[in-house]
Structure 1
Amino acid sequence: MESDNLKYQGRCKEFGNGCTWLIRIVMRKRKSTWEVRRYNGPHTCMATSISSDHKQLDYHVICARIFPLVRADASVSIKVLQEATEATYGFKPSYRKVWLAKQKVVAQIYGDWEESYADLPRWILGVIFTMDGFVALLKTSPVRVGDQVDEDRVYFHRMFWTFPPCIEAFRYCKPLVSIDGTHLYGKYGGTLLLAIAQDGNLNIFPVAFALVEGENAESWSFFLSNLRRHVTPQEGILVISDRHNGIKAALESPGSGW
């Protein structure tokens, strides 16, 4: 209820609702000691609604604790981070607090969402200059302000990419690719499309990727046409899929190359 350099007063969250626990402590300046002036204890409230969290244990404080854990493994679960924070401070923060803290730490390490998308063109150029044969196709769309087009800005639409080792390795794999998409649950959503190959020892590895707005005929056509052009130009390639309508339309399109 109150907390400063001269006094501290606290009470149960269920005070007045079946619980009377209360404590009041003040500073005695002459003796430089704290004195308990009121204490309605011991606290016997067994309400299950009492939280083990602490309001001053906000996500800014949690950030400092979990930073090395997230830096070592960005996929570390919220549950593990909760337990690590509780072991340090004695209070178990809520799932939301730790989730917010992890998002802040990820942004500190890798950059936030806006920075990441804005860095894509520079990242593509960097990989092209350092990896001969790298393929990346970035599609953007214009930004409209009312009826006008902002010539100085564009926004992300789609991207296809593959690496030279993927292209080279596919020549020695079975003549088949398995394709599928998975939804992304970040700030901007979208869908990640992948093509997977298999070698003679039944090892599997991804050979091509695309980040698109969702699974539809246009996005699958974008992915499959580039997959055909850059990775799987061989004849007689078998395609394994879940027969999504977008995949069927893209494969049957006359200009797809399949």
Structure 2
Amino acid sequence: MRVWLVKQKAVAHIYGDWDESYNELPRWVLEVQLTMLGIVTVLRTSPVRVGGQVDESQAYFHRLFWTFPPCIEAFQHCKPLASIDGTHLYGKYGETLLVAIKQDGNSNILPFAFVLVEGENAESWSFFLSHLREHVTPQPGLLVISDRHNDIKAALESPDGGWLPPTAYRAFCIRHVAANFALTYKGKDARRLLVNAAYAKTKVEFDYWFDILQSEDPGMCEWGEPD
């Protein structure tokens, strides 16, 4: 514990503590706007209330979206798809980082848009996806890949979000689907068959793996169907 406490003090001394880091965000946003033309940053804050009155001199951090000009430009030369996901940040304030990534023709991965939010909910995903659509991915016919999170579904299905077919389409990430599938069908072969079917490039190849799943257990083929 002593070593850990010393490490935390050293990190705070070099990089600043949690409060100082959040206080620096407005200055950071201004600096990158001045030094990198074309960068997109959207900072949202919440008012501080003292005794029922708004204190104009203070504000809480709420959300921050950002993307860099090379990332926006690179998207024009990549596959017309975007994979989105979130990860929890284990710090004092427990924020969540949402990220969008893309692939080039050689399947190399490039993160291209980021947002720091209070957590994964319909409002935070809508904030991310609306700015993603506005500033980075205005192209029609885009494929969005994600897990089956209900809040992502709600954000993508918003009538004014710009993500409904035929403007955009949605697919599920097979890694997440296979992980959930394995909770019910625990054999390694079952998961392998599902993944092979998902990666099939032709209908004939898909039917081949699907028929094997059907012969192993018809329930495997019905598992992903909506109620």
> TM-score normalised to the size of structure 1?
0.62
Corresponding residue SS for 1:98 = helix
Q: Is the counterpart of residue 201 in structure 1 residue 106 in structure 2?
A: yes
**Which of 68, 87, 109 is 1:182 aligned to?**
87
Match of 2:38 in 1: 133
TM alignment of 1:101-116, pairs within 5 A? 101-116=6-21
Higher RCO by CA contacts (8 Å cutoff, separation 6 or greater)? 2
Q: What is the Cα-based RMSD across aligned positions, in Å?
A: 0.7
Match of 2:206 in 1: none
4+ residue runs over 2 A deviation: none
> TM-score normalised to the size of structure 2?
0.71
Deviation sequence 1:20-69 (CA, Å, 0-9, x none): xxxxxxxxxxxxxxxxxxxxxxxxxxxxxxxxxxxxxxxxxxxxxxxxxx
Which runs of 5 or more residues in structure 1 are unaligned?
A: 1-95
Larger-Rg structure: 1
Which runs of 5 or more residues in structure 2 are unaligned?
A: 164-227
Q: What CA distance in whole angstroms lies between the structure 2 residues aligned with 1:98 and 1:209?
A: 33
Deviation sequence 1:153-198 (CA, Å, 0-9, x none): 0010001000001000000000001000000110111100000100
Q: What CA distance in whole angstroms lies between the structure 2 residues aligned with 1:236 and 1:99?
A: 50
- Structure (1/2) with the larger helix percentage: 2
Q: What CA distance in whole angstroms lies between the structure 2 residues aligned with 1:255 and 1:218?
A: 14
Q: What CA distance in whole angstroms lies between the structure 2 residues aligned with 1:102 and 1:251?
A: 42
Q: What CA distance in whole angstroms lies between the structure 2 residues aligned with 1:144 and 1:183?
A: 28
2:5 is matched by which residue type in structure 1?
Answer: L
Corresponding residue SS for 1:174 = coil
Q: How many residues align?
A: 163
Corresponding residue SS for 2:128 = helix
Corresponding residue SS for 2:60 = strand
1:142 is matched by which residue type in structure 2?
Answer: P
Shift of 1:146: 2.5
Q: What CA distance in whole angstroms lies between the structure 1 residues aligned with 2:8 and 2:162?
A: 42
Q: What CA distance in whole angstroms lies between the structure 2 residues aligned with 1:219 and 1:196?
A: 18
Query: Identity across aligned pairs (percent)?
Result: 76
Q: What CA distance in whole angstroms lies between the structure 2 residues aligned with 1:229 and 1:257?
A: 9
Corresponding residue SS for 2:31 = helix
Q: What CA distance in whole angstroms lies between the structure 2 residues aligned with 1:198 and 1:131?
A: 24
Q: What CA distance in whole angstroms lies between the structure 2 residues aligned with 1:177 and 1:223?
A: 13
